Amino acid sequence: MNRQYPCLEISRSRLRHNMEEVISRCTARGIQVCGVIKGCSGLPEVGRMFRDCGATQLASSRLEQIIRCRQVGVPGPYMLLRIPMESELEDVARWCDYSLESEAATLDALEEACARQGAVHKAVIMADLGADVIKVERPDRPKASGPFLNGERVYDLSVQRSKKSITLNLKAETDKKVLLELVKKADVLVENFKPGTMERMGLGYDIIAAANPRIIYMAVSGFGYTGPYRSRGALDMIVQGMSGLMSLTGEPDGPAMRCGTSASDVFTGLYAFGAISAALYDREKTGKGQFIDVAMLDATFSCLENAVINTCVFGTDPQRVGNSHPTSVPFGTFPTSDGEIIITCSRDPAFYSLCRALGREDMVEDPRFSKAEARRQHKAELTEEISRFTRARTLDECERIFEAHGVPNGRINTMKMICADPQIAARNMIVEVEHPVAGTYRMAGSPLKFGNYPDTTYEPAPTLGQHTREVLAEYLKMPEEEIETMLKEQKELVHT
């Protein structure tokens, strides 16, 4: 979509006493008023005046006369508002508000492809929400490890869904210019190279911002743009280890363990998505884009909760506690006759409900267990009391009893179990798409359920370069022969 700075053209001299008010209202909304033209009878005359400044006419409709200007004092696209009647001043102010607020509804995001996945998770959330996400990839992209479905990598089928893929050789000046033209039409650019990589390619923030001052530039890296580790590369497990997360994960007498999922990648993607959303809202008020620096180490470290503050306050390393909790008791897994059940009673009322479920109301008054701190100090005794009850019953029996008494509990599902769970089905958390190569497949859906937008539309992950022609023709109006020439050069690169 076009980013536009409204510019006012007043055609009647009797509106002069209102001009400052209108400009003030626009300025308060972050609208840059790049010029005021008086006495123009219509779009042709305005067009001639603005073409002298390098403008190109785009459209006209009733109140708005829209012209995209390139050199009228403020860099970037502009919007010209023609106000022929004083009674329409309120409409103009209202229209300005609407224009800015509606801009967030359809976003164009460019995603630079590389190995780390923090930015990938952020971009898939934006794609789920309806943004046009264009994934810029190398034409000679090496094939990553499987498993594969009809030759397509299964991991990519999920996290690359609903995106468009184009191929650009950013070492070639022609392809680099194409990227900069796309940048001019984008709201957000996401890249997750090591700091300095984009600068060496001639695509650092200064260059990108010069092409589009309103762009949100999201730089995701292992360690950020400052500090002694800024030049180091990082992958998920490395960051899990360096952040301290692995030191907290595992059994007390066992080795440090990584999480069962790519936690650092996911944490970083969620933080990046939140930061971009905040930056877009800030742009609605100020009209300005900005650079955002998100580090995987920072994102993971910030999610360690009480481990950080306890270390800072007491100066000791927290010990691994397996499935239990360092302060809340009971909290963990308990054996049943056919499996394990999770029980978490962080608060006294929940524990008292557990006592009733166990048929042990006496424990409510037992000084070893009646209060949270006492339970923490007598964890082993309490764990044995609960386990004696659960061992004698099946998982289904325990779950039924605890639910009847309002005790927080849950079973440990396998992935096959949770994928077939009725709650997952009721929430549309398994969705199906049709891929041109891989065929029909099912994957996790979006957890975001909006009241005003109840249905999320999913598209399959793209094949490499699937949308290159479409994007260059639609967004840049690039002639077919130029596209073919560029793709031919890319093909030669692949075969060298």
Enumerate the active-site residues: 325
Are the beta carbons of 123 and 276 closer than 8 angstroms?
A: no
Beta-carbon contacts of residue 333 (< 8 Å; ≥ 6 apart)? 323, 340, 341, 342, 412
Beta strands 331-336 and 339-344 are antiparallel
H/E stretch holding 58 = strand 56-61
Exposure b/e, 54-79, CB count within 10 A at least 16 = b: ebebeebeeebbbbbbeebebbbbbb
> Which two tokens mark 333?
């897994």
> Which two tokens mark 22?
């209108």
User: In 3D, which of 6, 184, 197, 222 has the Cα closest to residue 100?
Assistant: 6
Beta-carbon contacts of residue 127 (< 8 Å; ≥ 6 apart)? 133, 161, 162, 163
Beta strands 164-167 and 290-295 are unpaired
> Which two tokens mark 345?
């009673």
CA-CA-CA-CA torsion sign (213, 218, 222, 228): positive
C-alpha distances out from residue 158 to 116, 125, 275, 334, 448, Å: 16, 12, 23, 34, 16
